[in-house]
Amino acid sequence: MHCHLIDYLPQTGGQLSEIYPQKPIYDIPGYPTINAQELVDKLMEQIAPFHPKFTLGERVEQLHKQDDGTWLIVTNEGTEITCKVVVIAGGLGCFEPRKPEVDRLEEFEGKGVHYMVRNPELFRGRKVVIAGGGDSALDWTIFLADVAERITLIHRGDTFRGAPDAAEKVFELAKIGKIDLLLKSSVAKLDGSGHLDSLTVATPQGEVRIKTDHFIPLFGLSPKLGPIEHWGLNIDKSAIEVNTLDYSTNVEGIYAIGDINTYPGKLKLILCGFHEAALMAQSAFKYVYPHQRLSFKYTTVYGITELQE
């Protein structure tokens, strides 16, 4: 069987390479201790003879069951892949921008509300309000100060954690009147007809109304299931329910392994992910080749057979 791996992250390895690459892991059999990235590197080396294909930096958005029983997978970039079996090994899900609780926020998404800055030129000569106190709120405030007509930064605290240089620059820009800085304040409500045109801010001095073309709340990222939620799978507390016989889901041809699945007795361990993958692969083979006999072989007896590319 040929495998094709799709991941929204720009590299393989999921949380190991993205979140804690240098952290030691102590519960991988055979390795008293191994750094997360080192484990990923060794796994990549181990699968190399099977020549898997990779689509990285793209997120699977849609799954379509075709008339012949195969699946058509479509990513956010429009990449299409056809396959017989889909295995979801999505870990924590994908990290999406955290949305603040603000009246009418979702109504103005794409109509003045942005959760990240993709194209700074969009804000040239416009009025922009940024909310948040993290590094990205500070950095974009400084960057857009020269691009936008007017920038207002709203922060619920009166100090900023992290990057002292950026915080100092923001205070400096506010002092010389280049930006507006509202501390101990939060956005309460958005207004406009069709497109955002003003927002209401709760400040220590009471409510203030600010005219604006754009509102960019920057409150970090939070893991979400994302599109997986819409594929008809049984979900329990943000995890996919599977049958422990072969880690299949309620949808024929779709399996789920690793941290993204749930079953009675589930342990979120890398070790368990390997076990789940082995059982899934046996079952997937029988599903893909129903008429072919699968003989169980040990690598110590037969070695490995390199797959043709």
Partner 1 sequence: MINFIVEDRNGERTPIEVPEGISLSLMEILKGSDYDILATCGGMALCATCLVKVLQGHEQLTAPSDAELDMLDTLPHYDENNRLSCQIKIDERLEGCVFRIGG
| Binding stretches for partner 1 (CB under 8 A) | 19-20, 92-93, 98-101, 131-134, 156-157, 161-162, 186, 217, 219-220, 222-223, 237-238, 259, 268
**Residue with smaller CB distance to partner 1, 35 or 62:** 35
What is the closest distance, in whole angstroms, from the C-beta atom of residue 73 to partner 1 in the complex? 24
Q: Amino acid identity, residue 200?
A: T
Which residues 6+ apart lie within 8 Å of 27 measured at CB?
A: 269, 270, 271
What is the closest distance, in whole angstroms, from the C-beta atom of residue 294 to partner 1 in the complex? 34
**Residue with smaller CB distance to partner 1, 253 or 258:** 258
**Residue with smaller CB distance to partner 1, 45 or 101:** 101
How many C-beta atoms surround the C-beta of residue 218 within 10 A?
A: 24
Which residues 6+ apart lie within 8 Å of 94 measured at CB?
A: 8, 59, 223, 224, 226
Can you give 133-148 as a three-state secondary structure string?
A: CCHHHHHHHHHHCCCC
Distance CA 130, CA 118 (A): 14
The string of DSSP codes covering 221-271 is EEEE-GGGGGSS--EETTEEE-BTTTTB-SSTTEEE-GGGEE-TT----HH
What is the closest distance, in whole angstroms, from the C-beta atom of residue 159 to partner 1 in the complex? 10
**Residue with smaller CB distance to partner 1, 4 or 161:** 161
Distance CA 18, CA 56 (A): 13
Which helix (DSSP H) or strand (DSSP E) does residue 96 occupy? strand 94-97
**Residue with smaller CB distance to partner 1, 36 or 40:** 36
Residue in the block written with tokens 């997986």: 228
What is the closest distance, in whole angstroms, from the C-beta atom of residue 185 to partner 1 in the complex? 12
What is the closest distance, in whole angstroms, from the C-beta atom of residue 15 to partner 1 in the complex? 8
Of 137, 204, 214, 147, whose CA–CA distance to 169 is shortest?
Answer: 137
**Residue with smaller CB distance to partner 1, 237 or 293:** 237
What is the closest distance, in whole angstroms, from the C-beta atom of residue 224 to partner 1 in the complex? 9
What is the closest distance, in whole angstroms, from the C-beta atom of residue 217 to partner 1 in the complex? 7
**Residue with smaller CB distance to partner 1, 73 or 201:** 201
Q: How far is CA 227 from the centre of its chain?
A: 11
Distance CA 233, CA 119 (A): 35
**Residue with smaller CB distance to partner 1, 41 or 96:** 96
What is the closest distance, in whole angstroms, from the C-beta atom of residue 308 to partner 1 in the complex? 39
**Residue with smaller CB distance to partner 1, 213 or 259:** 259
What is the closest distance, in whole angstroms, from the C-beta atom of residue 300 to partner 1 in the complex? 34
Distance CA 11, CA 5 (A): 11
Residue in the block written with tokens 């500070």: 138
